[in-house]
A and B are shown apart, each in its own frame.
Chain A
Amino acid sequence: MSKKTMVQAINDALDYKLSKDENVLLFGEDIGPNGGVFRVTDGLQAKHGEDRVFDTPLAESGILGMSVGLATEGFRPVPEIQFLGFILEAMSPVVAQFSRMRYRMANTRSMPITVRAPYGGGVHTPELHSDSLEGILAQVPGMRIVIPSNPYDAKGLLISAIESNDPVIFLEHLKLYRSMKQDIPDEDYRVPLDKAAVTREGSDVTVIGYGLMISEALKAAKELEHEISVEVIDLRTIAPIDMDTVLASVKKTGRVVVTQEAQRQAGVTGQLMSEIGERAFMYLEAPISRVTAPDSVYPFGAAEADWLPNAKDIIKKVKEVYDF
């Protein structure tokens, strides 16, 4: 057990899988000697060799298209897309190819691919380095979108993702990379896919989110603890959603705030609201409320703080549904 950041926890998971499964391959832009632009793969090429951990040409469609071929040849590819915004260059391999290969081949072939990509705002990046595109990806059947909210989950979820025989898009929030440390077991462990977590128990209002918004929700819950008891649900696998865990909480509190860092239109929170409305309407004491970014393009760095949703926004909405 040692205190680790999310960067170190992810590096641990990759190191473990490279050591235990010779079919695991890591590749992407600058992940070799450079260790990735965030140093997530630091030291892994030196330890596991250039055959297992290697740099690619700068072409995202090539990287993910190659993953399809390597998976066909029996490998377990773990490609990195340097920033999630760059996956837009590779939507064909993601949406038109690997996510539907099991379906296309009538269950005779599988695509055990885990695409890792950093995303999320708050660190003053250039354009297309901070976009939250998980809502676009969440509509694609045949794969899972996994987003850890803390270092412990990051290691356990990534090991589960790499061991899954279905494709996973594994998204790592830029701001979470080094902003928190947690006790991480040195040995391997798994956090299950398809399973949301009750991160904080409460009885008055349920706040549901993922990624960095969990830190914000926990801050909000702490600040409100003497007046409103807030339950925080961390989706962890954001597509498909673990509705069992969500509904159990909603039925208990009857009041819900959903939150995402992404823009409001057509996202994961929209899906949550409609599912809750359809399945638990009679349990609701107030309309479901949501905290998101507004529907503009991800803003230029200097405007970021005003644009990103935060704990304050969550507090306001929690009070609204509580007082409804």
Chain B
Amino acid sequence: MSKKSTTKLDLVSLVKGYKDSFPFYQVLAPSGEIVHSDLEPKLSDEELTTLMKRLVWARTYDKRVTLLNRQGALGNYAPGGGQEASQIATQYALGEKDFFAGTYRDLAPLILHGLPLEKAFLWYKGHMKGNEYPEDLQAYAPQVIVGGHITHAMGVAFGMKKRNKKSIVLSLSGDGATSQGDFYEGINFAGAYQVPYVAVVQNNGYGISVPVEQQTAAETLAQKAVAAGIPGIRVDGMDPLAMYAAVSTAREHALAGQGPVVIEALTYRFGPHTMSDDPTRYRLAEELGEWEQKDPLVRMRTYLSNKGLWTEEQEKEVAESCKQEIKDAVAAIGQVDKQKVSDFLKNMYEVSPQNIQEQIAEYEAREMKEDE
């Protein structure tokens, strides 16, 4: 603790200075040029190509699932298009044993972390089997309470530290989550216990319709880490290489026992909040146009094409195979048995108390009648 005293009480310039402490990290400019080679992640050509494949896969997924929702084939959907660098490059930096805690917008990275596609679709459909996760899947089901998973993620990380595991926890959230008390409690505990946790905040500018400037007087969200005494950085969330580099560095920091990191990813969702949202009520078309110029896929495509690592054919191939996977998954979920009330009553407790036992019997009798 600093023991230096001061006689200066210039509050206005004090708050103005906060933003200067949070420079913005970028590796790949929208043009596809490397702007900071010293920050460039050390990825092999093969790894770079894999990352690009994943970005294309996620964009195809977003477009296809949006369409399926419009057709009524799947339940509600929260689009991720535009946020691929923040979601997919982030997840790409994780190890297999790392734990992933995301939100309802983070299905594409959750699938890439190991969730079978049919399960994601069953989740959209509101079927209990959607969250019947394999035992070794290191992830939570998508969190619906904005910011609710930040304290859970910190808790898993604390558990990993207690067990001396060589793994970390990664959470994805939006800017809205940083307005929640749980966000602060989560990062504050994480700092107090120095747990291996990386919190990536996808600042897409809006909590549904409320702009960040109306959510907080803080000019950056990264600076919220300062209050918890942990590192906070701002990254171009439309830049896959910057996101990969930032998350990898934060992960190494956490694995080295140096504690948690908050990463603010500056990004934008091209689509609506969910399929029942109309963004023209709160966003200007020009704004969307400006952000489309920063498209993570465009800059990565240019970068890799210039290196001779990416072709139009490859891109088509990934998109086609993604569409086929989706087709197969949609067919597979059509074969899943209808869920019964008696089934999920059995999931309330390990040992059912009297009321649940009675209700299971009641619903089983009713369901048997309906089957006849």
**Which A residues are closer than 8 A to B by beta carbons?**
25, 51, 56-57, 59, 61-62, 64-75, 92-93, 96-97, 102-110, 141-142, 144, 164-166, 194, 237, 240-244
Contacts and interface: CB of A to CB of B under 8 A. Distances in A.
A105 B347 CA distance: 9
B240 to A, nearest CB: 29
Contacts of B157: 69
Contacts of A237: 353
A200 to B, nearest CB: 23
A102 B155 contact: no
28 contacts: A56-B189, A57-B189, A59-B185, A62-B151, A62-B182, A62-B188, A62-B189, A66-B151, A66-B154, A66-B158, A68-B151, A69-B157, A72-B140, A73-B156, A73-B159, A73-B160, A92-B145, A97-B145, A102-B348, A102-B349, A102-B350, A106-B129, A106-B133, A107-B347, A108-B133, A108-B134, A194-B354, A240-B355
A108 B76 CA distance: 24
Contacts of B151: 61-62, 64-66, 68-69, 93
A129 B129 CA distance: 42
B132 A65 contact: no
Give 9 closest A-B pairs by Cβ, nearest first: A69-B155, A65-B151, A73-B159, A62-B185, A106-B132, A66-B155, A69-B156, A240-B353, A107-B347
Given A62-B185, A68-B152, 16 more contacts: A59-B188, A62-B186, A65-B154, A65-B182, A65-B186, A69-B154, A69-B158, A70-B156, A72-B155, A73-B159, A73-B163, A74-B163, A108-B135, A144-B353, A243-B354, A243-B355
- Majority SS at the chain B contact face: helix
B97 to A, nearest CB: 12
B185 A104 contact: no
Interface string B138-151: 00110001001011
Interface residues of B, number: 45
Contacts of A25: 162
Contacts of A103: 344, 347-348
B334 to A, nearest CB: 19
Contacts of B132: 105-108
B155 A104 contact: no
Contacts of A64: 151
Contacts of B128: 106
B162 A92 contact: no
Contacts of A62: 151, 154, 182, 185-186, 188-189
A241 B355 CA distance: 8
B1 interface: no
Contacts of B129: 106
Given A72-B159, A73-B160, A102-B350, A65 B148 contact: yes
Interface in B117-137: 128-135
A96 B145 contact: yes
A102 B129 CA distance: 12
Nearest to A67: B155
A97 B152 contact: yes
A183 to B, nearest CB: 29
Contacts of B99: 72
Contacts of B189: 56-57, 59, 62, 66
B284 to A, nearest CB: 35
Contacts of B361: none
Contacts of A107: 132, 346-347
Interface in B160-204: 160, 162-163, 169, 181-182, 185-186, 188-189, 192
A96 B354 CA distance: 23
Contacts of B348: 102-103, 141-142
A80 to B, nearest CB: 15
Contacts of A51: 162
Given A57-B189, A69-B151, A104 B159 contact: no
B197 to A, nearest CB: 9
Interface string B353-364: 111100000000
A46 B347 CA distance: 39
B263 interface: no
Contacts of A70: 155-156, 158-159
B182 A61 contact: yes
Contacts of B169: 69
B224 to A, nearest CB: 15
B153 interface: yes
Contacts of B152: 65-66, 68-69, 72, 97
Contacts of A69: 151-159, 169
B9 interface: no
A113 to B, nearest CB: 11
Contacts of A110: 350
A73 B354 CA distance: 30
- Specify which of B99, B150, B155, B159 lies most central, judged by the most chain A CB atoms within 10 Å of its CB: B155
Nearest to A65: B151
Nearest to B163: A73
Nearest to A51: B162
Contact of A61 (B131, B134, B185): B185
Nearest to B181: A61
A78 to B, nearest CB: 14
A244 B157 CA distance: 43
B155 A65 contact: yes
